[in-house]
């Protein structure tokens, strides 16, 4: 079940909200836990047991770490090995077998396994919880139902953001409810739904047209590159908006996951703004424990390569994800060693163009099916396909999708947000128009969904 589906919007969510607000406070966590398990079971009936097993093991090891301080490091190691072992088996085992067969000329048979939805997200939440308990930064949760509710909470279960236990530890016991907070949650959810359905999905249709066509004009390659980076942003940030909005509806406050990354002036700045929950997770649980930048330059470079190798692998079990991660790792090293001082002197428009081109190429790598396709799509941007700059087909699709491109580009910037914040005496005007605007977005989005329009879920592989 995904958020942008009729089943979720008109059946699951209204029923859960209705029951949640009817029952007394002491039963609200139980309602959310049962709803979240059903939510996961609906999409992955077999693998809900894997999630529950991971939660149970983490709960037990958390108790052991808290009770037996002398052996806490041993229990921490065992718990992380178990949790990551499950992730490796389901997500990476066939990739490992494929490469063993390739490099050693073996013939090991592949295993039949389907990647459980959201396993990368909830695995990282389990790891952060157990490490924070070990460090003494979080109190051990002795109520397994509350720990299970935190891990399986359906708003953030399948597509993040990666919510740390310390962020909502207090909220598991006490949450504040108000009509204003619920309304803000609805507003955020509808905006996220619009991002996903009206922008990301429509751009996805254009991407599919490009991948199926034999047109190799330079214009079409650039349309693909720009559409691809915008689709990934609006798909993922849209899901994060919906998750944050759903959290507010149920009284939770999740941290922001995106902060207009396409206005970044360096790759370092970009990763402060893009998928914040993931980059901060790697910083706090991998990079800093390795020594961060408080080590020799060689070890610092090693630390960055380890973090970005793991970041690439986290996104998928294929070489293009590893290359994508190392691509960013190399660029960050170059920036930190010498490039940043030059970027700071450039006009912001030039540094932003630099970031956008780098990121566009990165997402061509990210989305590629194989290296030949990746090289062809990158080369096509500069005319390596030996074709015309423009063609009738590319011009037709350019005109057809121009409005969507304009809306997406403007929507990826804080232009309207800044206008509203800097203009005085327009609060009443906004308060009148906003409900109408949100209703229109919701009606059009659901119309697209009912119509059976293109509605992919990019994060099944995570």
Cite the DSSP H helix spans in 286-426.
297-315, 319-334, 340-343, 348-367, 371-379, 392-411, 415-422
Residue 416's pLDDT is 78
Q: What percent of the chain has pLDDT over 90?
A: 68
What is the per-residue pLDDT for 456?
62
More confident residue, 456 or 380: 380
Q: Per residue in 71-88, pLDDT tens?
A: 999 999 999 999 999 999
Q: Give the model's pLDDT for residue 100.
A: 86
pLDDT at 458 over 80: no
- Whether residue 461 is predicted with pLDDT greater than 60 in this model: the reply is no
Over residues 231-256, the pLDDT tens digits come to: 999 999 999 999 999 999 999 999 99
Question: Worst-scoring range by mean pLDDT, 201-210, 325-334, 415-424?
Answer: 415-424
Report the distance separating Cα 62 and Cα 133, nearest Å: 7
pLDDT of 285 reads 95
- Contact of 278 with 160, CB cutoff 8 Å: yes
Spatial CB neighbours of 198, under 8 Å, sequence gap ≥ 6:
441, 444, 445, 448
Query: What average pLDDT does the segment 194-222 reach?
Result: 91
Question: Does residue 62 register a pLDDT over 60?
Answer: yes
Verdict on whether the full-model pTM lies above 0.85: yes
Pair 215, 233: CB distance under 8 Å:
no
**Position 45 pLDDT exceeds 60:** yes
Query: What's the chain's average pLDDT?
Result: 90
Nearest one of 72, 73, 95, 159 to 124, comparing CA atoms: 159
What are 274-323's pLDDT values in tens digits?
999 999 999 999 999 999 889 999 999 999 999 999 999 999 889 999 99
Residue 158 has pLDDT above 70, yes or no: yes
Higher pLDDT, 369 or 123: 123
- Band (pLDDT 50/70/90 cuts) for residue 424 is low
Contact (CB, 8 A) for 271 and 311 = no
Which residue, among 212, 216, 207, has the nearest Cα to 234 in the 3D structure?
Answer: 207
In contact, 163 and 156? CB cutoff 8 Å: yes
Q: Does residue 386 carry a pLDDT above 90?
A: no
The reported pLDDT for the residue numbered 459 is 53
User: Which of 402, 406, 460, 387 shows the shortest CA–CA distance to 213?
Assistant: 387
Query: Is the pLDDT at 431 greater than 80, yes or no?
Result: no
Among 151-155, 201-205, 418-422, name the one with the lowest average pLDDT: 418-422
How far apart are alpha carbons 177 and 171 in whole angstroms? 11
pLDDT band at 453, cuts 50/70/90?
Answer: low
Average pLDDT score over residue span 350-369: 94
Question: CA angle, corner 422, sides to 419 and 428, nearest 5?
Answer: 85
Q: Assess whether pLDDT exceeds 80 at residue 176.
A: yes
Please state, as a whole number, how many other Cβ atoms lie within 10 Å of the Cβ of residue 459: 18
| Catalytic residue flag (residue 315) | yes
pLDDT for 56 beyond 90: yes
Name the catalytic one among 315, 321, 367, 408. Answer: 315
pLDDT at 326: 96
Least-confidence region, from 86-95, 160-169, 213-222, 450-459? 450-459
Helix (H) or strand (E) holding 139: none
Task: Examine the pLDDT at 441 and tell me if it is beyond 60.
Answer: yes
Specify burial of residue 284 (Cβ count, 10 A radius: 0-12, 13-18, 19+). Answer: middle
Q: How far apart are CA 200 and CA 198, in angstroms?
A: 6
pLDDT attached to residue 284: 95
Q: Comparing C-alpha atoms, which of 313, 324, 311, 328 is closest to residue 365? A: 324
């Amino acid at each position: 079940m995904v958020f942008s589906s009729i089943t979720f919007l008109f059946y699951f969510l209204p029923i859960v909200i209705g029951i949640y607000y009817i029952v007394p406070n002491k039963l609200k966590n139980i309602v959310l836990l049962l709803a979240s398990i059903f939510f996961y079971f609906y999409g992955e009936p077999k693998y809900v047991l894997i999630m529950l097993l991971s939660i149970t093991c983490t709960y037990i090891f958390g108790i052991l770490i808290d009770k037996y301080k002398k052996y806490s490091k041993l229990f921490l190691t065992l718990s992380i090995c178990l949790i990551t072992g499950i992730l490796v088996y389901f997500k990476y085992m066939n990739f490992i077998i494929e490469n063993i067969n390739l490099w050693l000329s073996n013939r090991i048979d592949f295993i039949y396994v389907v990647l459980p939805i959201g396993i990368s997200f909830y695995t990282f939440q389990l790891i952060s919880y157990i490490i924070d308990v070990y460090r003494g930064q979080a109190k051990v949760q002795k109520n397994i139902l509350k720990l299970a509710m935190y891990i399986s909470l359906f708003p953030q279960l399948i597509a993040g953001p990666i919510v740390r236990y310390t962020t909502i530890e207090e909220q598991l016991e006490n949450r504040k409810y108000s009509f204003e907070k619920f309304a803000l949650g609805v507003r955020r959810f509808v905006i996220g739904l619009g991002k996903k359905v009206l922008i990301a999905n429509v751009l996805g249709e254009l991407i599919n047209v490009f991948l199926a066509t034999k047109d190799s004009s330079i214009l079409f390659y650039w349309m693909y590159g720009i559409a691809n980076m915008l689709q990934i942003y609006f798909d993922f940030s849209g899901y994060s908006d919906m998750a944050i909005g759903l959290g507010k509806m149920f009284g939770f406050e999740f941290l922001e996951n995106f902060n207009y990354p396409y206005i970044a002036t360096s790759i370092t700045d970009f990763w402060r703004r893009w998928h914040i929950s993931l980059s901060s997770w790697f910083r706090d649980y991998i990079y800093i424990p390795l020594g961060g930048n408080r080590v020799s330059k060689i070890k610092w470079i090693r630390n960055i390569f380890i973090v970005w190798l793991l970041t690439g692998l986290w996104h998928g079990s294929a070489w293009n994800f590893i290359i994508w991660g190392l691509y960013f790792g190399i660029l960050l090293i170059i920036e930190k060693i010498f490039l940043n001082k030059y970027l700071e002197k450039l006009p912001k428009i030039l540094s932003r163009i630099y970031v956008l081109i780098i990121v566009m190429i990165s997402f061509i790598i990210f989305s590629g099916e194989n290296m030949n396709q990746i090289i062809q799509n990158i080369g096509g941007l500069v005319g390596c396909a030996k074709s015309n700059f423009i063609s009738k087909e590319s011009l037709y699709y350019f005109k057809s999708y121009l409005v969507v491109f304009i809306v997406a580009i403007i929507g990826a910037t804080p232009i309207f947000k800044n206008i509203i914040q800097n203009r005085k005496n327009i609060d009443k005007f906004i308060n009148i128009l906003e409900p109408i605007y949100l209703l229109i977005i919701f009606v059009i989005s659901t119309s697209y969904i009912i119509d059976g329009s293109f509605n992919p879920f990019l994060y099944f592989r995570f």
